[in-house]
Amino acid sequence: MSAEGAGAGGGAPPQEAAPAPTPTEPPPLVTGIPAKFQGKWDESAAACATTSILTLTIAGNELRFHESIGEITSVTPDGDNAVKVAGPFEGEGEKWEGEMRLELSADGTTLTTTNGGTATPRVRCS
């Protein structure tokens, strides 16, 4: 068989190219930290009366901790009651880029922050 005969019509039928995989769309970015996460959070209702080392205040695009602050530049939904936030942080003379997951309980009274594998639950202060 000549080289010409081995091509079209001479060998196995041509195979159709597999469809290109559909890229998975990343979750949409949110413009800011959603309102349901905003407010003052602390380790317990009693701690809410003062400022403890676990106090977290979320206002606008800012996370304010006892000795550090984060200016959030990216907010990505991560389920119905959670978001991942990222941005520059600074505190105690240090500056770093950080990422954190914020998850609300179904009733909105508990916020669990996860940072580097460490989950810290806090209650909403009234």
Average pLDDT, integer, range 80-98: 96
Contact 111, 122 (CB under 8 A): yes
The pLDDT tens digits for 32-82 are 899 999 999 999 999 999 989 999 999 999 999 999 999 999 999 999 999
The CA distance from 123 to 47, in Å, is: 9
Strands (E), 46-117: 56-59, 62-64, 68-71, 74-77, 82-91, 94-104, 110-115
Asked if residue 8 has pLDDT above 60, the reply is no
The CA distance from 43 to 48, in Å, is: 8
Could you tell me which of 55, 69, 46 has the C-alpha nearest to residue 122? 55
In this prediction, residue 30 carries a pLDDT of: 57
Question: How would DSSP label each residue in 83-96?
Answer: EEEEEEEEETTEEE
Each domain of the chain, given as residue ranges in start order, spans: 35-124
Joined together, the tokens standing for residue 76 give 């990505």
In this prediction, residue 7 carries a pLDDT of: 45
Half-sphere exposure of 20 (CA within 13 A, CB side): 3
Asked if residue 97 has pLDDT above 90, the reply is yes
Percent of the chain with pLDDT over 90: 71
- Name the least confident of 4-13, 27-36, 113-122: 4-13
Considering only the top CATH level, what class is 35-124?
Answer: mainly beta
